[in-house]
Structure formats: structure tokens, C-alpha cells
Amino acid sequence: MRLIYPLMWARPDRKADREQTIATAAALARRGVEIILLMPQGARDPSLSANELRAWFAVEGDFGVVQRPSRWAGESLFRSRLWLRQIFRDPLLAGADLLYSRMPAMLGVGRKSPLPFVTEQYRPWPDEWPFIRPLVRRTARQRDCLGLILHSAYAADAYRRAGVAEEKLLVAHNGANPHLAAAPGKAAARARLGLPEDRPIALYAGRINAQKGLDQLLALAPLRPDIAFLLVGSEGEGPIEAAAAAHANVRIIPWQEPTALPGWLAAADVLLIPPSRAPLEQFRNCVLPLKLFSYLAAGRPILAPEAPDTAELLTDGVNALLVPPGRPEAAAAALDRLLGDAALGAHLAAGALASAAELDWDRRAEKIQAFLEARLLSLG
């Protein structure tokens, strides 16, 4: 199977969607899929090789990279539509079996694709923008639309309600950082990182900005001054970093390479998903966050909010403790339980590892490949 995967971005960065894209491409390549990443390249954008992308994202997989001169790199709908129009005329598509893309614009202009196509989406766009439902439905009904691959059942339900046929929907949960398997034990991790051996540590790992619900962690920290709260993933001085400076027990850690992050997760007593629904319901930029998969694979107790997306993978008392969002006092009480009950912590950690066993990039790629092959066969 030969697959062309156009990207919206021209250079790698630390956004989760970049990591997810390259992890997916690498995993499909490991399964023998011939996959070529088609990237726009503006006048000031660097030339990139597949080896450079593999090194940046710390993945293995023999995908190819082709760059095309273009003014349309970027995430805006306008730029994506123009970039797709350019792609549809690209000679690289000759001989390919299908076009595979995460670009939301495919939901509208995919029907003009010269190849059978699949679009992968993480957000429930038809619920967020109800006016696009007829457009999504019309695109999905095209014969050459093989289907939609969604990161969560929560998102898939939105497309189902929009009228997308069941046989064209696939839920494929993401995977965990593969370097977690080599993570050290807690004591060794703390010694390596210079962290206190005996102080409780609650850790968040992910992007640090005002849209991630981190205000709830900053409200939690003063309620438990004996606990060290580590926020890992800073890319500079922003409002969260400034607010954190007022708390003696909050430490901001810079963004970590994929190979270094597992050591930080291993050093924690508790891993935190901010107890807030704002990322999902207000900012709408976080559905089943990628960090959750690495948290599960790290084998540490998880504290998370009750939310409809994470409910697909987290069960209270089985692999996490779930708390009502927006209630720091409830989160503080849950932290007390986790840190004060070793048996509970061990039970939740074991549950997290059991869940992670079913959630890796290679299993995801196997599921996607089977879906693509079946859908291509359906074309006759």
C-alpha cells in the first residue's frame, strides 16, 4: 500500500499533533506501508530529511519526506484549503493508493481529491461547528472517501450524529511514548534528576499554557504545601510560569526530549491531568490528551477530572482516581488518599499498566492498516 500523507506544517515543533502525526507515520511504515510525508516549504523554511524528523521525534520507521515550494503552510482553514488544492495537482500522487491527512479542511474539499482518501481527526468538529454537518455528510458519502479515523469514541459520536455511515468510522486510540519501557525506578529517577528522595511529588507533563487547565493545579498547590508540584514542558515565560513563581512548592521544568521525559514520569508519586474541563469544553483543544497514554504506560497513580473523553480510558478506582473538575479541595483530598494509601497507589499503577498494554502505536497502526485495506477493497 502506497500512502501520501500531506502535512500542514513546514518544520517540526513540540505540539502534540506533530508528535502524533510522526508516531503514526512511523508505526505504519514499520508495518510495511509505503508512506510519504508531503510537506509545504516556504521561502524561509528549512530543507528536512526523513532522518531529521525521526531524530527530532525519536521514532523508528522508514517513511519518506517530500517538500514542495508553497506559501500555504499553516493551520488556518484558508491556508489548508489552498495547500490541498496544490496537493491535488501534485505528480507525487500518481501511483499512490490513497491520500491520508489530519487536515480539517479535508472534511470539506476531500471530495475533490484525485485519490481515495481518509481523514484523521481528533476534534468533534460537527458538534463544535454544527453548520458544517451537511458538508461533512456530503464528503463522507463520496465513494472515494474511505472513511474517518477518530482518536476517541467521544469524537466519533459527533460524526455519527452528522450522518457519517458506521462502516466509514474507525476509533483508533493513540499510543504511549515508546521510551517508557526503559524508564528507571522512582528512586533512581530522582537521584538522576536531583529530586528529593522523600518528598511527595505530583507531576504534570505537557504543554504549559493558559488553555490546559493549569490554573486548577496552581489552586491545588497551596492547599498541600508539603507536596512538590512539578510542571514539565515549559517553552518560555508565559502567564502560567509567572503565576507559578508565587508558589514555593511549584517548580517549572523545561520541555523534555521524548527520550528524557520517561525519567520525569518515573520520579513522580502521582501523575496529574489538571482537574478542569476547560481544555475540552471551553478551549476545545484537548480531546483524550496524548499525555494520558504516556501516564498509563508509566505505571504511576493518576489523578484526573471526571470528563466524557477520558472516561473512555480511565475508570475511577481501577486505573485512576477521578475528581469533579473545578474543585481544588476535592483534588487535594484525592491526593491525600493516593499518597497515604500505598495499596491503593499500587492497585491504580497496576491498572494503568494493564490499560497501557492495549494502547501502543504499533497496535494502532495494525488497526488502521486493516481498516484501510478493507475500505480499499470495498471500492472493487
In tens, the pLDDT along 289-333 reads: 999 999 999 999 999 999 999 999 999 999 999 999 999 999 999
Query: In this predicted structure, what is the pLDDT of residue 19?
Result: 95
228 backbone dihedrals φ, ψ, rounded to 5°: -85, 125
Domains 2-175+360-378 and 178-356 share a fold: yes
Residue 204 pLDDT exceeds 80: yes
Which of 34-38, 171-175, 245-249, 281-285 is the least confident region?
A: 281-285
Are 96 and 34 in contact by the 8 Å Cβ rule? The answer is no
Burial of 150 (0-12, 13-18, 19+ CB in 10 A): buried
Cell numbers for 21: 502525526
According to the model, what pLDDT value does residue 28 have?
98
Q: Where are the domains of the chain?
A: 2-175+360-378, 178-356
pLDDT at residue 278 in the model: 80
Give the count of beta carbons closer than 10 Å to the beta carbon of residue 200: 18
CB of 7 within 8 A of CB of 39?
yes
Question: What percentage of the chain has pLDDT greater than the value 90?
Answer: 92
pLDDT, position 180 = 83
Arithmetic mean of pLDDT over the chain: 95
Could you give the CA distance from residue 333 to residue 227 in angstroms, rounded to a whole number? 13
Tell me: pLDDT of 145 over 80: yes
Q: Specify the length of the chain in residues.
A: 380
Provide CB contacts within 8 A for 291, sequence distance 6+: 16, 205, 206, 273
Work out the angle at residue 183's Cα, subtended by the Cα atoms of residues 236 and 296, and round it to the nearest 5 degrees: 80
106: Cβ contacts below 8 Å, ≥ 6 apart: 84, 113, 117, 119, 139
Mean pLDDT of 215-242: 96
For the domain spanning 178-356, the CATH number is 3.40.50.2000
Q: Which pLDDT score is estimated for 222?
A: 98
In the structure grid, which three cell numbers stand for residue 331, read together? 483534588
- pLDDT score of 102 more than 90: yes
From residue 25, alpha-carbon distances to 66, 129, 180, 214 in Å are 14, 29, 20, 31
User: Which of 15-24, 173-182, 251-260 shows the lowest per-residue confidence on average (mean pLDDT)?
Assistant: 173-182
If pLDDT is split at 50, 70 and 90, which confidence band does 177 have? confident
* Residue 64 banded pLDDT, cuts 50, 70, 90: very high
CATH number for the domain running over 2-175+360-378: 3.40.50.2000
The pLDDT score that the predictor gives to residue 104 is 96
Confidence band, pLDDT 50/70/90 cuts, at residue 96: very high
Whether the predicted pLDDT of 283 surpasses 70: no
pLDDT for 51 beyond 90: yes
**pLDDT at 178 (0 to 100):** 83
Nearest C-alpha neighbor of 110 from the set 23, 6, 38: 6
